[in-house]
Chain A
Amino acid sequence: MSLFARTGLDEHNRRVEWLVRTLFLLMTVLLIIPVALIMGILIQRGAPALSWGFLTEVPTNGMTAGGIFTALIGTVWIVAVALLASVPIGVAAAVYLSEYAPDNWLTRAINLAIINLAGVPSIVHALFGLGAFVVFFGFGRSILAASLTLAVMTLPIVIVATRESLQAVPHAFREACWNMGATRWQTIRRVVLPNSISGILTGVILEVSRTAGETAPIMFTGAAAFLPFLPQGVLDQTMAMSLHLYVVSTQVPDVPDALPFGVALVLISMVLVMNATSIAFRIYLRNKRKW
């Protein structure tokens, strides 16, 4: 019998390892399978509702017929205005945290505030939006109020993604620039930001997808259950995809079965396509990175 022959203990260990591995694989798969099944059902039952007209016609007949055009355009409005507000603030915050912030109590407080902004329930953000933007600042129920509410809520996404991509730029790049006599801001603008812009973009796409899907924060701040026309400006109310799905599936009687499935399918496709783009972008960048 050779020195390295398998003993009974080895066999036992191998079996246990295989068992443990399979068990954990099974748990992973069980996490994914229900969702895959649900997607299948959504596609199967929502597909009959989908057509070019579904995307380009306004809802008619008490929202039991017609398309989702006004809701789609409304979501585009809300997302665009929210981005205009949150991207500059979020990038500024990330630049501060990554390039300027000393390790002190204030920085720790900022980080804690970011975690909490992300953790506060969406309905509390809705109450905040109502109390602050609709009532106190007097924007009324409007795209502006809804978008600002969402901007505050999604701020952590921009900050965290931007901070990560700024910190991925090697410190030597900055030092080389400082040694040439450049100021802090010149270094950030000419060296740090150009090297991290794509990472920032990944975060922005993620934010778009999150903003498009949120319902509770816009219910009382600017999204309307039904409007037959498109918004003309930021002080108008608007329909939105997410709220439209809630309304047609809970509030409207006699909706044909395929309609809410169609709305859900369009909404989830929008969100997943944007997320997939963001992820693909990130993987591409990681492979391309030269340092």
Chain B
Amino acid sequence: MPADVQGDHLSSSIATELNTRGWDWYVDRIVSIGVFVGGVSAIIFIIGIFVFVTREGLDFALGSLDLKEFFTSINWRPTSERNPTYGILALMTGTASVTGLAMLVAVPFSLGAAIYIAEFASGRTRESLKVLVELLAAIPSVVWGFIGMSIMNPLIIEMFDVPVGLSVLNAGVILGLMAAPIMTTIAEDALKAVPDSYREAAEAMGATRWQVIFKVVLPAAKHGLMAAILLGVGRGFGETMAVLMASGHAINIPTSPFDSVRALTATIAAELGDTARGSDHYGVLFTLGIFLFVITFIINLIADVVVKGVGRQK
């Protein structure tokens, strides 16, 4: 048999063998399908959340809900026997005032801390500060709520000589302390994402450290910092247990930081346990859930677009 024919035969047998779809090939296919399902599960869950919350709230939202009353009335009286009203205006001002105060507390401190950690601190100090901030972010919200009730409450009563210490001030400060570590971490990441060559170029021109920070680093990182603030707002807006426990939970449009208020999230947490499935009260709480879901979705979407905006610039 001529050598080249034999060679042909050999190479074709190798080719056949390589073409055989063995056990490993099938396992590989199955796994790739498996991890794909895992990957899209996040999408399935986010759609699932919307579908199931809507499913429970839809009957009420389409049937008995008066949208104008829902958004413009301050009367939230879902348990009234004769004339229940479902106005969330007071709840929205409660959420807004608490979140607003929280941001007043958290934004300057977390941006300041992020600048210090990213631009001034170095080595061991930097690592320890980062670890500390991360640990602060881990404290559960129910513990924060408890701190608001048992430590901040008497403190506020004593310091400002007011009758009640569970108020916008209490919940706002607690929420600010809660949101600050997360905002610090994200803002620090944004500052670190500014290339060192920017800093070096500015320093080579004779700029001092703080000039580099204010004129070069902060403008370059501004989208990332905005995203950090937005995510902090989203966090404050959606916080439940801490606000429920520290805000006083009274339906009220606040006129001073010492007024008790009630938040949207806290209302669901406090009332859902007492409602029967299918009742109007149950339906309106799920409608509130849809509202919260849509708002946080929009906040997250904007934060995402803002960050992507940075990517396009480079």
Which residues from chain A sit less than 8 Å from chain B, CB to CB?
A: 13, 16-17, 20-21, 23-28, 30-32, 34-35, 38, 41-42, 88-93, 95-97, 99-101, 106, 109-110, 112-117, 119-128, 130-132, 135-136, 152, 155-156, 159, 183-186, 188, 209-210, 212-216, 219-220, 242-243, 245-246, 249-250, 260-261, 264, 267-268, 271-272, 275-276, 279, 283
> 1/0 per residue B230-256: CB within 8 Å of A?
010011011111000100000000000
A117 to B127, CA, bound (A): 29
| B171: chain A residues within 8 A (beta carbon) | none
B159 at the interface (CB under 8 A from A): no
Q: Given A110-B40, A113-B43, do A126 and B293 touch, yes or no (CB 8 Å)?
A: no
Q: Which residue of B lies closest to A206 (CB)?
A: B138
Specify the chain B residue showing the minimal Cβ separation from A91. Answer: B38
Name which of B4-12, B83-91, B139-147 contacts chain A. B139-147
- Chain B residues lying within 8 Å of A209, measured Cβ to Cβ, are 138
Partner among A125, A249, A275 whose Cβ is within 8 Å of the Cβ of B138: A275
**Which one of B194-202, B217-225, B295-303 contacts A?**
B295-303
- Complex: how many Å from CA A155 to CA B285? 25
Partner of B147, one of A20, A38, A117: A38
Contacts of B37 in A (CB 8 A): 92
| Contact call A115/B49, Cβ cutoff below 8 A | no
The answer on a CB contact under 8 Å between B116 and A16 is no
CB–CB B53/A124 < 8 A: yes
Q: If A113-B43, A116-B297 touch, does A186 touch B138 (CB 8 Å cutoff)? A: no
**Extra inter-chain contacts (8) besides given A24-B116, A31-B177, A131-B55, CB under 8 Å:** A119-B296, A120-B49, A122-B141, A128-B52, A186-B24, A213-B139, A213-B140, A216-B141
- Select one of A42, A120, A183, A249 contacting B238, CB under 8 A: A120
B56 contacts across to A, CB distance below 8 A: 127, 130-131, 135
Q: A122-B240, A131-B56, A249-B146 are in contact. Are A41 and B151 (CB under 8 A)?
A: yes
B139 touching A249 by the CB < 8 A rule? Answer: no
Report if A250-B149 is in contact (Cβ < 8 Å); known contacts: A127-B56, A215-B140: yes
Name 14 interchain pairs, CB-CB below 8 A, sorted by A: A21-B116, A24-B119, A115-B303, A127-B52, A130-B272, A183-B24, A184-B32, A214-B141, A216-B240, A219-B269, A267-B143, A268-B143, A275-B134, A279-B131
- In the complex, the 9 A-B pairs of residues with the closest C-beta atoms, listed nearest first: A92-B38, A213-B140, A121-B238, A27-B112, A96-B39, A131-B52, A24-B116, A96-B35, A183-B28
Complex Cα gap A38–B210 (Å): 33
Partner of A272, one of B46, B48, B138: B138
A215 to B143, CA, bound (A): 10
Tell me the minimal C-beta distance from B152 to chain A in angstroms.
Answer: 9
Q: Which residues of B contact A283 (CB under 8 A)?
A: 127
- Does any Cβ of A come within 8 Å of B103's Cβ? no
- Is residue B76 contacting chain A, with contact meaning CB distance below 8 A? no
Q: Which of B42, B151, B181 has the most CB of A within 10 A?
A: B42
Are B113's CB and A28's CB within 8 A?
yes
* Chain B interface, >50% SS class: helix
A123 contacts B240, C-beta separation under 8 Å: yes
Please give, as numbers and ranges, the residues of chain B lying within 8 Å of A271 by CB-CB distance. Answer: 138-140
CB distance from A277 to the nearest CB of B (A): 11
Name A116's contact: one of B46, B180, B285 (CB within 8 Å).
B46
Give min CB distance, A140 to chain B, whole Å. Answer: 12
Please judge, given known A-B contacts A186-B24, A215-B142, whether A31 and B184 are in contact too, CB under 8 Å.
yes
- Asked if B15 is at the interface (CB within 8 A of a chain A CB), the reply is no
Least CB distance, A286 to chain B, in whole angstroms: 10
Within 8 Å CB of A42, what residues of B? 147
Q: Are A120 and B296 closer than 8 Å at their CB atoms? A: yes
Digitize B173-197: 1 where CB-to-A-CB distance is under 8 Å, 0 elsewhere.
0000100110010000000000000
Contact pick for A124, options B49, B142, B210, CB 8 Å: B49
Please tell me if B160 contacts chain A, counting CB pairs below 8 Å: no
B46 in contact with A25 (CB, 8 Å): no
Q: Is B150 an interface residue (CB 8 A)?
A: yes
